[in-house]
Amino acid sequence: MKYQRMAPGIFLDRPNRFIAHVQIDGKEETVHVKNTGRCRELLLPGAQVMLQLSDNPNRKTAWDLISVKKEGLGWVNMDSQAPNRVVREFLEKQPGITYIRPEYRYGDSRVDFYFER
């Protein structure tokens, strides 16, 4: 999985769980946060972030916050949808898999992926 249309920024603040204020090329922008968790240990004022420009001109925000650089740890992906996309791409490349279904219900539970060979 590769992200396209990426740009660096500096995290400023997060007024709610869906948006953040980020400085991009010296200009403050409101961006969408793809992870609604608190992430207080990651999203600290002044932190380096990577953003993805959306290809949807009708969105309220032009950018998505994809990752943040954590001192002593490196880059941390903040995109909560990324793990399932990575697993799906992996499964699709495996020989012999004929059927893949995400978010599969199994009894009273749900599994991330069901697949058949």
Q: What is the pLDDT of residues 49-102, one digit of tens each?
A: 999 999 999 999 999 999 999 999 999 999 999 999 999 999 999 999 999 999
Let me know if residue 60 belongs to a domain.
Answer: yes
Domain co-membership, 37 together with 88:
no
CATH number at residue 32: 2.40.50.580
For all residues of the chain together, what is the average pLDDT?
96
For residue 59, what pLDDT is reported?
96
E strand segments, the chain:
6-13, 19-24, 27-33, 48-53, 63-70, 74-77, 99-106, 109-116
Let me know if residue 49 belongs to a domain.
Answer: yes
Domain co-membership, 38 together with 72:
yes
For residue 5, what pLDDT is reported?
96
Domain count for the chain, please give it: 2
- Judge contact between 61 and 19, C-beta under 8 A: yes
Q: What pTM value is reported for the model?
A: 0.83
Domain co-membership, 69 together with 22:
yes
Let me know if residue 99 belongs to a domain.
Answer: yes
- Looking at the predicted structure, is the pLDDT value of residue 1 above 90? no
